[in-house]
Amino acid sequence: MKWTDIHAIAAELYDRYPEVDPKTIRFTDLHNKVVGLPGFDDDHARGGEKVLEAIQQAWIDEAE
């Protein structure tokens, strides 16, 4: 998985962390959860604010 796989990441986060409210997660925590996903193999430094915002929104959409 790469940072550009926003919807796949969001779906995996939704499945793996059902107890987490994606509306309230801090970006540092979100970043750590993404890079810790099995199969994630992208440069950790590339996960900037815009990418994290997109992942967070996709995760919110997945949860609704």
pLDDT (0 to 100) of residue 27: 97
- Write the pLDDT tens digit of every residue in 1-24: 999 999 999 999 999 999 999 999
DSSP result, 14-62: HHH-TTS-TTT--HHHHHHHHHTSTT--S-GGG--HHHHHHHHHHHHHH
**What's the average model confidence in pLDDT over 25-51?**
96
Considering the domain boundaries, does residue 55 fall inside one? yes
Considering the domain boundaries, does residue 44 fall inside one? yes
Counting the structural domains of the chain, the total is 1
Considering the domain boundaries, does residue 32 fall inside one? yes
Cα(60)–Cα(46) distance, integer angstroms: 22
What is the CATH number for 33?
A: 1.10.10.600
Considering the domain boundaries, does residue 20 fall inside one? yes
Considering the domain boundaries, does residue 1 fall inside one? no
Tokens representing residue 5 in the block = 């796989």
What sign has the CA pseudo-torsion 48, 19, 63, 5? positive
Considering the domain boundaries, does residue 46 fall inside one? yes
Domain residues for the domain of 35 are: 6-63
